[in-house]
Amino acid sequence: MYLEIVSPEATLFSNEVDSVVVPGVEGEFEMLKNHAPIVSLLKEGTVRIHTHTQSHLVFDELPAEIIPHKDNDKLLLLRISSGTVELKDNKVIILVD
């Protein structure tokens, strides 16, 4: 599954991932490969990105907004205040404020 996270300033993340967990307005939910299409508003919380490995990332250095989990090198965290997520055909696009 391909994940792209975009802020008004820059693309924060763009790569293949195993799964992504987002803070939806009706509660947190996880998206995996072959998930049904979805569009949802996001509330303040943490986006959890599950990657294959750290070397699987496109960026030589992660943007300051994305923090590797201290106990799991395959988990990245991004705090957001709000946003929107769309998943279609195994491509997730998250627009964050």
Range of the domain at 90: 2-96
- Output the pTM of the full model: 0.83
Number of domains in the chain: 1
CATH of the domain at 56: 2.60.15.10
β pairing state of 38-42 and 11-16: unpaired
- Print pLDDT tens along the chain (97 aa): 999 999 998 899 998 999 999 999 999 999 999 999 999 999 999 999 998 765 444 444 555 576 666 666 688 999 999 999 999 999 999 999 8
Query: 33-36: long-range contacts (C-beta < 8 A, 24 or more apart)?
Result: 33/1, 33/90, 34/90, 35/1, 35/87, 35/90
